[in-house]
């Protein structure tokens, strides 16, 4: 590969159908500008063309995806540039305020040429980490879909049969869906008595502790709808449609949950993240932390970079005598949610975490702000354990031991 001072640089404006590519030389002169279709021949041609042109660095606006993996497989060095940085750089090359895919690819190529030292070259995670990330993100997407469908189902029941949504703890549980599939309207449940309901619960393996009499009272205690025959039939069909859509999603979420647990247990970094929790059912959050942080140690050279990417560190704003901090929007939102879950759970059993949280609340911080303050403290510990391939041991946590020591 050519020396960086003599090499060429490329910017790729990624899209779902076609990619705009611009290649510049070491002086910023455009060597080539082309578009490549997002299919196998197009991606193969894109990678081979960049290799033939001697491109030393490729800049894109995303850190992952099929195109990124193919560029890395071709032996090209790739950097990810945040869209906000590209937006801020457009006026540097054009004052007209225009925007196009071709122009953005040129801006990206120029950033790769002039500011390559400011961006981290992407290093792919291991196959185990990428598999775990795929599982956790797929489950998250299915959970969002389940919540949306469950809200629709709850709204339908509220219009003509409110009691049916109160029988079980939630309308999207397996037992609730089975009940609504068998009794989708008040007409279907007209002959439902205590004995028949008890038989239904036994047949479907109900694990709740509520007797059939109490569940039946909940069903009959709801307000009575006034839907006429045609409306009743229409809403009955809607309930059945929503139930049939929810059942496979709920089942697949359960299957994915089991797969995620097995993948976490088999991962080399699994013990590190699992040791941060004491609850036996908290491994899902541990899996999210592991999959979003990854296993490339060069990705986060300091704990501060990890805290920033996880949204646990604020953004400093200073001008003259004015200095304040504001909320960090640009971060990995999945990682931030996992950090906040860890922080909120740890303050309930860890005296060190509880002390940091309580002191933040005493200073006037809200619950979410105090949780992020605690999350930033956790980022130091997680970063150290992650780099050392170690596990969290409360007896070796100096700050915790100092706090719990007599007279501490």
Condensed to tens digits (0 to 9), the pLDDT of residues 26-37 reads 999 999 999 999
Residue 271 included in any domain: no
Strand order from edge to edge, sheet including 8-13: 30-37, 18-24, 8-13, 55-60, 78-80
Residue 269 included in any domain: no
Is 231 strand, coil or helix? helix
Looking at the structure of the chain, the number of domains it has is 3
Residue 362 included in any domain: yes
> Are 398 and 283 found together in one domain?
yes
DSSP 8-state symbol, 364: T
> Are 112 and 211 found together in one domain?
no
User: Is the separation of the CB atoms in 289 and 375 below 8 Å?
Assistant: no
**CA 97 to each of CA 87, 88, 171: distance values in angstroms, whole numbers, following the listed order:** 10, 11, 51
Condensed to tens digits (0 to 9), the pLDDT of residues 205-230 reads 999 899 999 999 999 998 888 889 99
**CATH number assigned to the domain comprising residue 84:** 3.30.420.40
Mean pLDDT for 157-181 is 95
Q: Which residues contact 394 (CB under 8 A, 6 or more apart)?
A: 350, 400, 401
Residue 270 included in any domain: no
Condensed to tens digits (0 to 9), the pLDDT of residues 106-126 reads 999 999 999 999 998 999 899
| Closest C-alpha among 257, 168, 247, 256 to residue 206 | 168
Domain final position from 95, 118, 141: 118
Domain final position from 67, 95, 118: 118
Task: Report the distance separating Cα 10 and Cα 21, nearest Å.
Answer: 7
* Predicted local distance difference test score (pLDDT) of residue 408: 60
**CA 311 to each of CA 47, 296, 304, 335, 369: distance values in angstroms, whole numbers, following the listed order:** 34, 19, 10, 8, 11
Name 22's bridge partners.
Answer: 11, 33
> Are 252 and 169 found together in one domain?
yes
> Are 105 and 14 found together in one domain?
yes
> Are 303 and 364 found together in one domain?
yes
**Phi and psi (nearest 5°) for 189?**
-95, 15
> Are 283 and 260 found together in one domain?
no
Is 227 strand, coil or helix? coil
Is 210 strand, coil or helix? coil
| Closest C-alpha among 244, 217, 239 to residue 227 | 239
**CATH number assigned to the domain comprising residue 156:** 1.10.287
**Phi and psi (nearest 5°) for 205?**
65, 45
**Sorting pLDDT into bands at 50, 70 and 90, what band is 96?**
confident
pTM of the model: 0.86
Answer whether residue 4 shows pLDDT above 70: no
Condensed to tens digits (0 to 9), the pLDDT of residues 279-314 reads 888 999 999 999 999 999 989 999 999 999 999 999
Domain that holds residue 163: 130-264
DSSP 8-state symbol, 35: E
Answer whether residue 14 shows pLDDT above 70: yes
Q: Which residues contact 168 (CB under 8 A, 6 or more apart)?
A: 175, 176, 179, 208, 215
> Are 96 and 176 found together in one domain?
no
Percentage of the residues of the chain whose pLDDT score is greater than 90: 85
Condensed to tens digits (0 to 9), the pLDDT of residues 171-189 reads 999 999 999 999 999 999 9
Residue 2 included in any domain: no
> Are 32 and 155 found together in one domain?
no
Answer whether residue 161 shows pLDDT above 70: yes
Bridge-based pairing state of the strands 322-326 and 315-319? antiparallel
> Are 146 and 222 found together in one domain?
yes
Mean pLDDT for 185-214 is 93
| Closest C-alpha among 84, 136, 75, 61 to residue 294 | 136
**CA 119 to each of CA 14, 24, 29, 82: distance values in angstroms, whole numbers, following the listed order:** 18, 18, 22, 10
Answer whether residue 322 shows pLDDT above 90: no
* Predicted local distance difference test score (pLDDT) of residue 225: 86
Percentage of the residues of the chain whose pLDDT score is greater than 70: 98
Residue 124 included in any domain: no
* Predicted local distance difference test score (pLDDT) of residue 281: 82
> Are 398 and 362 found together in one domain?
yes
Domain final position from 118, 146, 169: 118
Residue 398 included in any domain: yes
Residue 1 included in any domain: no
Mean pLDDT for 375-385 is 97
- For the chain, how many residues are written? 408
* Predicted local distance difference test score (pLDDT) of residue 1: 44
Condensed to tens digits (0 to 9), the pLDDT of residues 324-357 reads 889 999 899 999 999 999 999 999 999 999 999 9
User: Is the separation of the CB atoms in 143 and 99 below 8 Å?
Assistant: no
> Are 16 and 77 found together in one domain?
yes
Task: Report the distance separating Cα 67 and Cα 36, nearest Å.
Answer: 11
> Are 71 and 96 found together in one domain?
yes
């Amino acid at each position: 590969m050519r020396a960086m001072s003599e090499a060429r640089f490329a910017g790729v404006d990624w899209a779902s159908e076609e990619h705009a590519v611009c290649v510049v030389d070491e002086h910023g002169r455009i060597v080539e500008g082309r578009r490549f279709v997002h299919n196998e021949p197009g991606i193969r041609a894109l990678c081979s063309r960049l290799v033939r042109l001697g491109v030393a660095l490729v800049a894109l606006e995303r850190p992952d995806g099929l195109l990124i993996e193919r560029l890395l497989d071709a032996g090209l060095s790739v950097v990810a540039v945040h869209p906000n940085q590209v937006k801020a750089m457009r006026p540097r090359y054009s004052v007209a305020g225009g925007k196009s895919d071709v122009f953005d690819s040129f801006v990206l190529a120029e950033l790769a040429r002039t500011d390559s030292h400011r961006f981290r070259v992407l290093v792919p995670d291991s196959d185990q980490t990428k598999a775990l990330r795929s599982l956790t993100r797929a489950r998250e997407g299915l959970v969002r879909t389940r919540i949306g469908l469950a809200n629709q189902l709850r709204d339908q029941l509220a219009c003509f049969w409110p009691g049916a949504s109160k029988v079980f703890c939630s309308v999207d549980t397996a037992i609730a869906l089975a009940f609504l599939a068998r009794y989708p309207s008040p007409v279907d449940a007209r002959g439902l008595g205590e004995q028949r309901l008890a038989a239904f619960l036994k047949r479907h393996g109900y694990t709740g502790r509520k007797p059939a009499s109490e569940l039946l009272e909940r069903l009959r205690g709801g307000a009575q709808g006034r839907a006429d025959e045609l409306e009743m039939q229409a809403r009955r069909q809607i309930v059945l449609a929503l139930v049939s859509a929810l059942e496979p999603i709920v089942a697949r979420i359960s299957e994915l949950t089991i797969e995620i647990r097995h993948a976490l247990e088999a991962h080399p970094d699994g013990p590190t993240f699992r040791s941060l929790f004491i609850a036996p059912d908290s491994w899902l959050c541990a899996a999210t932390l592991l999959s979003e942080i990854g296993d490339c140690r060069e990705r986060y050279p300091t704990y501060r970079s990890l805290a920033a990417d996880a949204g646990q560190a604020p953004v400093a704003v200073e001008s003259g005598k004015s200095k304040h901090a504001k909320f960090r929007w640009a971060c990995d939102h999945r990682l931030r949610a996992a950090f906040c879950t860890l922080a909120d759970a740890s303050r309930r059993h860890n005296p060190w975490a509880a002390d940091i949280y309580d002191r933040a609340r005493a200073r006037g911080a809200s619950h979410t702000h105090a949780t992020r303050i605690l999350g930033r403290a956790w980022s130091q510990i997680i970063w150290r354990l992650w780099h050392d391939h170690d596990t969290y041991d409360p007896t070796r946590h100096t700050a915790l031991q100092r706090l719990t020591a007599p007279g501490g």
